[in-house]
Amino acid sequence: PAGGGRFIVNINPAPNLLPLNLPERGEIKRRLAKAVVAALPGDIAKRELDRVEKMLGWSGDQLQIRQLPKEWGPGNLLTLEIESDHVTEVFTGFGMKAVTADAVAEQAVKQSRRYLATKVPVGENLADQLLLPLALAGGGAFVTHSLTRHTKTNIDVITKFLPVRVAMRETARDTWLVEIAT
């Protein structure tokens, strides 16, 4: 960002990683749309949330605006969080120069609609992120959308460096089971 930034993090390693199995997401418990703006008019965030309300039917406490300090910008983003019994998925639309607030919202809404329509617990971006921790834990499984090229590349790289096997099996249209084992 224009203002730069720095942070310090202390991380205590987990004594061991445990396998994780996500065969289903369970019941949806909460939905939250958060529009964040810095050094930009708050009306941008309002327009993004109006679009989410119109396209997804979310309202009231499900829609939040967060105005960040001016020096943290300029910039804006919209996150859509869908919390279920077993997993929380987050979809993001990023504001850019010459991209309308409607387009930012539509980007995130499109991702969330696909996720909700297929009933998988793990979206395509989370699938990429789960592969390495599950491989390091020595196993696990999850159900996701059709595998992206990025996911397939991650699988190829992980299996070159770690003594794990990754099995991928289509269980239904646009639904895949990914299993990691030693």
Contact of 96 with 118, CB cutoff 8 Å: no
The conformation of residue 60, written as its DSSP 8-state character, comes to G
Q: Which of 30, 54, 110, 150 is catalytic?
A: 150
**165, β-bridge pairs:** 181
Q: Token match 């958060």: residue?
A: 34
Catalytic residue check, 150: yes
User: Could you tell me which residues come within 8 angstroms of residue 151 by beta carbon, excluding any fewer than 6 positions away?
Assistant: 124, 127, 128, 131, 144
Catalytic residue list: 150
